[in-house]
Chains A and B, each alone.
Chain A
Amino acid sequence: MQDDKLIIAGKSYNSRLLVGTGKYKDMDETRDAIEASGAEIVTVAIRRTNIGQNADEPNLLDVISPDKYTILPNTAGCYTAKDAVRTCQLARELLDGHDLVKLEVLGDEKTLYPNMVDTIEAAEILIKDGFKVMVYTSDDPIIAKRLEDMGCVAVMPLAGLIGSGLGICNPHNIRLILENANVPILIDAGVGTASDAAIAMELGCEAVLMNTAIAAAKKPVLMASAMKKAIEAGRESFLAGRMPKKAYASASSPIDGTFF
Chain B
Amino acid sequence: MEIFVNGKSRQVEESFSALQLLESMELVGKRLALEINEEIVPKSRHAEYLIAAGDKVEIVNAIGGG
* Complex alpha-carbon distance, A217 and B44, angstroms: 43
Closest to A27 in B: B64
Instruction: Decide if A51 is an interface residue (CB 8 Å cutoff).
Output: yes
Cβ of B53 within 8 Å of any chain A Cβ, yes or no, is no
Complex Cα gap A236–B7 (Å)? 50
List B contacts of A91 (CB < 8 A): 33, 62
Give A46-60 as 1s and 0s: 1 = Cβ < 8 Å from B's Cβ atoms: 111101100100011
Q: Can you list, as one digit per residue, whether each of B10-36 has a CB less than 8 Å from chain A (1) or not (0)?
A: 000000000000000111001111110
Assess the A44–B62 pair: CB atoms within 8 A.
yes
Do B64 and A45 have beta carbons less than 8 Å apart? yes
Is A117 interfacial (CB-CB < 8 Å)? Answer: no
Say whether A125 faces chain B, with CB atoms less than 8 Å apart. Answer: no
A22 to B63 alpha-carbon distance, docked (Å): 8
Total chain A interface residues with beta-carbon distance under 8 A: 38
- Say how far A228's CB is from chain B's closest CB, in angstroms: 17
A73 touches B6 (CB 8 A): no
A-B contact count (CB 8 A): 102
Closest to B65 in A: A45
Interface of A is mostly: mixed
What 1/0 mask marks residues of chain B from 29 to 66 whose CB sits below 8 Å from any chain A CB?
01111110010101100000000000000111111111
A146 within 8 A of B: no
**Given A49, A89, A210, which contacts B40 in the complex, CB threshold below 8 Å?**
A89
CB-nearest residue of chain B relative to A73?
B62
Q: Is the CB of A49 within 8 A of B65?
A: no
Whether A90 is near chain B, meaning CB under 8 Å from some CB there, is: yes
Q: Is the CB of A59 within 8 A of B61?
A: yes
- In this assembly, does A61 line the interface, its C-beta being within 8 Å of a C-beta of chain B? yes
Q: How far is the CB of A148 from chain B (nearest CB, A)?
A: 23
A55, A71, A209: the one contacting B26 at CB < 8 Å is A55
Q: Are B65 and A43 in contact (CB under 8 A)?
A: yes
B6 in contact with A94 (CB, 8 Å): no
Is A128 positioned at the interface, with any CB of B under 8 Å from its CB? Answer: no
With A51-B5, A51-B59, A86-B38 as known contacts, state yes or no: A93 contacts B64, CB within 8 Å: no
Q: Are B59 and A20 in contact (CB under 8 A)?
A: no
B25 to chain A, nearest CB (A): 6
15 A-B pairs (CB sep. < 8 Å): A20-B66, A30-B64, A44-B62, A46-B33, A49-B60, A51-B25, A52-B25, A62-B31, A73-B62, A86-B35, A90-B60, A94-B32, A94-B33, A209-B66, A211-B65
**Contact residues of A with B, CB < 8 Å?**
20-24, 30, 43-49, 51-52, 55, 59-62, 71, 73-74, 76, 86, 89-91, 93-95, 162-163, 209-212, 215
